[in-house]
DNA sequence: AACTGTGGCGTACCTC
DNA sequence: GAGGTACGCCACAGTT
């Protein structure tokens, strides 16, 4: 043990202290599982699924999947790679410094790094440590002792990935004990065709394309996987707690991608066998167990035989529960192939993916699945993506017969598996692609957000080029904060332009939009944290329109290059090819996966630049992107007007043209490419559009009669059902309008529909469900301190009358009633208390947004004095 | 002291 | 990430 100065005596911090401190850091500690896994000296090509830190031997561990035999192999680092961080002290200074006495300190040597902020190569000292927690994650870790450290907050497994140039999701093989990239075939002709699109782009971009093409073209294997779902015997009013695992596991369902369908059932006193329900498929095998431990052991054996284990919420529940339950009932550690991490559960020897986390990812939900599911619950996701949801129960789990329990539990496992298999397995393919782009292990892709993906992708590229990864403070110190002021209070910088639309109906409207405007701007204007306000005097003239910032003319920005390359790949190749019906279906599926994966990255690339939690956060870059965006759209609108076209509306990257000729459209598109090198495309053509006069608020009817509704209250999730129905009835009538002449008839129909609803409302012929506002609690009830919104009031009332606690995420259904409170939860309200006038008001605002535009006077319908006149018309 | 009118603000949901 | 809309809450001012 090394001897430090007196003040450097390291006291072991207490358990709690340590725990609390670690909270804010990324360094994960994974439980060590004493199960040995094959580590052959030679293998065929294997897919790299994960790189983790194996604490038992203090080395990086690669989990490899061999498609030729379905096995998982382990490979431990044999290059002597160790955790490290950088400092600007010289090696001599380090040796005299207290860190040299740190018990994890293993050495120091000088390295050269290119500093992108200063555009200079600088010398640093690389401090090597015995284990990741010596670098950071403890109170007295090396980085805490140093005056300043760099690259000290990178999880070790990822650091290993960068330094060894590994790409998770690609093929590697073990050759005489060493890990080597496996040469993989991919269509070279396709690669050269894609390269053609990059003709004339800078050399940095071309190099980048060549490096990245294999990631998009090497096929991904279909990896066998096992889905697991468990049921626990819970006593009436207690939710089973995984960390205690006090209750018996009574049923475990396993379904695999290679045909296994098995239910493990614990025998219990007095439980009926029941009748086999139709919902339980014929070929499901049910195995009964007298002993819970024996049942768990069987399932554990199965877990070890699959490379991938799939669950829905297994991190927080199923696998977590099994892990603790197994210990509680005396199963030996070496028989439990589950490893607890801080917020997740890993499996041995394979990889566990928790689909709940993946589908909860906002970017996945919005950009990969187009918001097709609204809630990331198993039932909601499965219902919308597979068309099959959970089985609904009318009894407690504990009261179900064996057959009913089996059917219920099996269904959950089955749809969990199918979420990875539907549409030719696009979800697994997408995960694999995201691994390749982000350079993250499978588990990280599934569990972490898009900001971590992009961070890791960019860090990897930094290391590849021997760039210093700057600290957040360095970037802010060098580049400053934003100079623009946002229109909305509390935002950090100015955003996009929204044109004020003129209210009315307009026939023959063409909408043009810029193909991924912000990534295009990022690319064409060479925007990166290091290129904005660069240190060169001679670049100061290359200004961002309307802003004091300038952009480097001497070097290409790293993030600009990478994101631009991804953007071009998507726009020029994968997006059009994914729609090309002449291609082989398998190829097309893969292309559409790549297209969607790229979309996720591109759409987030701007967002992270303006997110203060992003480690490469750079406000001048973020505000320059939006400023150039405003510049581009403004100039385009000017040009359209110069071409003689009326611009009705525009938002961020779109412009609505009133009755343009084909020639005018073409000339505008050509002009945009010539002027900005940014593609402007025809996005949609409307038969007609109605504008209410409000921004982000319009209705467009396509030529086929389908209707596009944006921002109108009648479409919002929380508007009462009866208003939505009324609204949709009106919209249906509008969809049938072919020409201005049809409006007179449509208006008559609309009046009659509106009147019917009005009468129903007035006569209270609607039920409470139809009248309910359904609003989500964004936080727990006691966290609303400034105001008490209506749904919170309703929730508080409801809580008094039921045992269940209400909190963040719960959707509260309430109706507006007469009286002091103004609202009541639907469960406590009666139809005769409803405040009809309030609802009339809502009817009015809902309809106003479309009816005023088409010349229906709402005051005439709703105005008190003209009511009689309205009714007497018929 | 109890009402009423107003404007800023908080919250939810949506658009790009 | 910023830009919007709807709507109720709440404080405050100026009555009644």
For chain A, give the percent of residues with pLDDT over 90.
Answer: 69
Residue A863 pLDDT grade (very low, low, confident, very high; cuts 50, 70, 90)? low
DSSP type of residue A197: T
**Is the CB of residue A216 less than 8 Å from the CB of residue A227?**
no
Cβ of A508 near strand B (distance < 7 A): no
pLDDT tens digit sequence for A34-80: 899 999 999 999 999 999 999 999 999 999 999 999 999 999 999 99
- Minimum CA–C1' distance nucleotide for A787: C9
**Is the CB of residue A153 less than 8 Å from the CB of residue A107?**
no
**Is the CB of residue A252 less than 8 Å from the CB of residue A229?**
yes
pLDDT at A862 > cutoff 70: no
Residue A628 pLDDT grade (very low, low, confident, very high; cuts 50, 70, 90)? very high
Mean pLDDT of chain A: 90
Cβ of A395 near strand C (distance < 7 A): no
pLDDT tens digit sequence for A316-366: 999 999 999 999 999 999 999 999 998 999 999 999 999 999 999 988 998
pLDDT number for residue A29: 74
Cβ of A804 near strand B (distance < 7 A): no
Measured between alpha carbons, how far is A150 from A89 in angstroms, rounded to an integer?
Answer: 11
- Minimum CA–C1' distance nucleotide for A696: B15
| Nucleotide C10: closest residue by CA–C1' | A787
Structural fold of domain A470-691: Palm domain of DNA polymerase (3.90.1600)
- Minimum CA–C1' distance nucleotide for A607: C1
pLDDT tens digit sequence for A814-833: 888 887 778 888 888 888 88
pLDDT number for residue A864: 46
Nucleotides of C under 7 A from a protein CB: 1-10
Domain positions in chain A are 1-83+223-450, 470-691, 712-764+839-872, 768-833
pLDDT at A5 > cutoff 70: no
Taking residues A557-571, what's their average pLDDT?
94
Cβ of A233 near strand C (distance < 7 A): no
**Look-up: residue for tokens 């193909």?**
A515
Q: Residue A473 half-sphere exposure, CB side, CA atoms within 13 Å?
A: 4
Check residues 118 to 137 of chain A and report those whose beta carbon is under 7 Å from nucleic acid strand B: none
Taking residues A668-697, what's their average pLDDT?
94
- Minimum CA–C1' distance nucleotide for A610: C1
pLDDT number for residue A24: 42
* DSSP characters over A553-595: SSS--HHHHHHHHHHHIIIIIIHHHHT-TTS-HHHHHHHHHHH
Spanning CA of A482 to C1' of C1, the rounded length in angstroms is 14
pLDDT at A749 > cutoff 50: yes
Q: Residue A843 has which token pair? A: 């009817």
Please state whether beta strands A285-289 and A261-266 pair in parallel, antiparallel, or not at all (unpaired).
parallel
pLDDT number for residue A27: 54
Chain centroid to Cα A96, Å, comes to 47
| Nucleotide B10: closest residue by CA–C1' | A787
Cβ of A790 near strand B (distance < 7 A): no
pLDDT tens digit sequence for A210-238: 999 999 999 999 999 999 999 999 876 67
CATH architecture for residues A768-833: 3-Layer(aba) Sandwich (3.40)
Please, what's the b/e burial string for A632-656 (b: 16 or more CB within 10 A of its CB; e: otherwise)? bbeebbebbeebebebbbbbbbbbb
For chain A, give the percent of residues with pLDDT over 70.
Answer: 95
Residue A9 pLDDT grade (very low, low, confident, very high; cuts 50, 70, 90)? very low
Please state whether beta strands A249-256 and A225-232 pair in parallel, antiparallel, or not at all (unpaired).
antiparallel
pLDDT number for residue A20: 37
pLDDT number for residue A846: 87
- Minimum CA–C1' distance nucleotide for A775: B12
pLDDT number for residue A16: 36
Measured between alpha carbons, how far is A191 from A214 in angstroms, rounded to an integer?
Answer: 8
Please state whether beta strands A646-651 and A178-181 pair in parallel, antiparallel, or not at all (unpaired).
unpaired
Nucleotides of B under 7 A from a protein CB: 9-16
Taking residues A742-760, what's their average pLDDT?
87
DSSP type of residue A537: G
Check residues 306 to 325 of chain A and report those whose beta carbon is under 7 Å from nucleic acid strand C: none
pLDDT number for residue A529: 96
Superfamily the domain A1-83+223-450 falls into: Ribonuclease H-like superfamily/Ribonuclease H (3.30.420.10)
Which secondary-structure segment (H or E) carries A131? none
pLDDT number for residue A237: 66
- Minimum CA–C1' distance nucleotide for A777: B12
Which residues contact residue A38 at a Cβ distance below 8 angstroms, ignoring those fewer than 6 apart? A71, A72, A73, A74
pLDDT number for residue A176: 97
Peptide bond into A427 cis (omega under 30): no
Taking residues A244-262, what's their average pLDDT?
96
Please tell me if the domain spanning A1-83+223-450 has the same topology as the one spanning A470-691. no
pLDDT tens digit sequence for A467-492: 999 999 999 999 988 989 888 888 99
pLDDT at A289 > cutoff 90: yes
Which residues contact residue A629 at a Cβ distance below 8 angstroms, ignoring those fewer than 6 apart? A496, A497, A517, A518, A521, A652, A653
Taking residues A403-417, what's their average pLDDT?
97
* DSSP characters over A214-257: HHHHS------EEEEEEEE---TT-PPPTTT--SPEEEEEEEET
Q: Phi-psi bin for A242: left (phi > 0), alpha (psi -120 to 50), beta?
A: alpha
Spanning CA of A793 to C1' of B11, the rounded length in angstroms is 13
Taking residues A759-783, what's their average pLDDT?
86
Taking residues A142-169, what's their average pLDDT?
97
Residue A11 pLDDT grade (very low, low, confident, very high; cuts 50, 70, 90)? very low
The pTM (predicted TM-score) of the whole model is: 0.91
Spanning CA of A713 to C1' of B8, the rounded length in angstroms is 23
């Amino acid at each position: 043990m090394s001897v430090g100065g007196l003040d450097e005596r390291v006291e072991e911090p207490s358990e709690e202290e340590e725990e609390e401190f670690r909270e804010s850091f990324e360094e994960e500690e994974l439980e060590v599982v004493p199960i040995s896994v094959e580590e052959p000296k030679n293998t065929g090509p294997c897919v790299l699924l994960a790189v983790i830190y194996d604490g038992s031997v203090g080395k990086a561990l690669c989990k490899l999947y061999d498609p030729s035999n379905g096995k998982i192999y382990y490979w431990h680092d044999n290059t002597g790679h160790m955790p490290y961080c950088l400092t600007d002290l010289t090696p001599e200074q380090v040796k005299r410094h207290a860190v040299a006495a740190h018990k994890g300190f293993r050495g120091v040597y000088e390295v050269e790094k290119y500093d992108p902020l200063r555009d200079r190569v600088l010398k640093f000292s690389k401090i090597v440590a015995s284990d990741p927690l010596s670098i950071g994650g403890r109170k007295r870790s090396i980085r805490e002792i140093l005056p300043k450290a760099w690259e000290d907050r990178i999880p070790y497994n990822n650091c290993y990935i960068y330094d060894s140039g590994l790409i998770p999701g690609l093929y590697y093989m073990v050759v005489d004990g060493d890990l080597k990239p496996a040469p993989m075939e991919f269509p070279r002709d396709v690669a050269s065709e894609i390269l053609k699109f990059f003709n004339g782009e800078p050399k940095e971009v071309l190099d980048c394309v060549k490096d990245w093409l294999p990631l998009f073209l090497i096929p991904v294997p279909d990896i066998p996987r096992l889905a697991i779902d468990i049921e626990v015997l819970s006593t009436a009013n207690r939710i089973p707690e995984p960390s205690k695992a006090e209750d018996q596991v009574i049923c475990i369902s396993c379904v695999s991608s290679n045909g296994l369908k098995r239910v493990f059932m614990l025998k219990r006193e007095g439980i009926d066998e029941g009748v086999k329900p139709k919902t339980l498929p014929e070929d499901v095998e049910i195995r009964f167990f007298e002993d819970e431990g024996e049942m768990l052991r069987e399932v554990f054996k199965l877990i070890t035989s699959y490379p991938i284990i799939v669950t829905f919420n297994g991190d927080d529940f199923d696998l977590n529960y099994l892990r603790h339950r197994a210990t509680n009932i005396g199963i030996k550690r070496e028989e439990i192939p589950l490893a607890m991490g801080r917020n997740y559960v890993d499996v041995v020897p394979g990889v566990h993916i928790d689909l709940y986390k993946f589908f909860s990812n906002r970017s996945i939900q919005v950009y990969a699945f187009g918001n097709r599911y609204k809630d990331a619950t198993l039932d909601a996701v499965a219902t919308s993506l597979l068309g099959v949801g959970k089985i609904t129960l009318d009894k407690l789990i504990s009261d179900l017969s064996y057959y009913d329990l089996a059917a219920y539990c099996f269904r959950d496992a089955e749809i969990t598996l199918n979420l990875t298999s539907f549409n030719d397995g696009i979800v697994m393919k997408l995960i694999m692609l995201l691994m390749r782009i982000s350079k993250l292990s499978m588990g990280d892709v599934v569990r972490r957000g898009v900001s971590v993906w992009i961070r890791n992708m960019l860090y990897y590229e930094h290391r590849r080029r021997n760039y210093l990864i700057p600290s957040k403070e360095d970037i802010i110190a060098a580049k400053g904060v934003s100079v623009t002021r946002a229109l909305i209070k509390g935002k950090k910088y100015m955003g996009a332009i929204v044109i004020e639309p003129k209210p009315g109906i307009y026939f023959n409207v063409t909408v043009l939009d810029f193909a991924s405007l912000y990534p295009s701007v990022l690319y064409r204007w060479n925007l990166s944290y290091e290129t904005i306000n660069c240190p060169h005097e001679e670049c100061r003239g290359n200004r961002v329109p309307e802003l004091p910032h300038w952009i480097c003319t001497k070097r290409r920005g790293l993030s600009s290059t990478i994101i631009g390359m991804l953007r071009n790949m998507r726009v020029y190749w994968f997006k059009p090819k994914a729609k090309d019906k002449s291609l082989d279906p398998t190829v097309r599926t893969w292309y559409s996966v790549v297209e969607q994966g790229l979309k996720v990255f591109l759409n987030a690339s701007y967002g992270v630049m303006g997110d203060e939690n992003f480690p490469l956060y750079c406000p001048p870059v973020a505000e320059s992107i939006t400023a150039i965006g405003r510049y581009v759209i403004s100039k385009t609108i000017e040009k359209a007007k110069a071409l003689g076209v009326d611009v009705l509306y525009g938002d961020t990257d779109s412009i609505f043209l009133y009755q343009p000729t084909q020639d005018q459209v073409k000339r505008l598109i050509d002009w945009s490419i010539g002027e900005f090198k940014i593609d402007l495309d025809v996005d949609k053509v409307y038969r007609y559009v109605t504008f209410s006069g409000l921004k982000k608020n319009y209705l467009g009817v396509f030529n086929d009669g389908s209707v596009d509704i944006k921002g109108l209250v009648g479409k919002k999730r929380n508007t009462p059902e009866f208003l939505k129905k009324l609204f949709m009835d009106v919209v249906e009538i509008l969809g049938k309008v072919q020409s201005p002449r049809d409006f007179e008839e449509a208006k008559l129909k609309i009046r009659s529909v509106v009147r019917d609803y009005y009468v129903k409302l007035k006569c209270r012929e609607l039920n409470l469900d139809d009248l309910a506002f359904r609003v989500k609690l964004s936080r727990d009830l006691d966290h609303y301190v400034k105001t008490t919104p209506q749904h919170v009031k309703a929730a508080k009332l409801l809580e008094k009358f039921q045992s269940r606690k209400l909190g963040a995420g719960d959707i509260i259904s309430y109706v507006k009633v007469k009286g002091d409170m103004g609202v009541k939860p639907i469960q406590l309200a009666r139809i005769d208390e409803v405040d009809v006038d309030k609802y009339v008001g809502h009817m009015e605002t809902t309809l106003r947004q479309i009816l005023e535009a088409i010349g229906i006077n709402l005051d005439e319908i709703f105005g008190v004095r003209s009511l009689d006149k309205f009714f007497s018309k018929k």
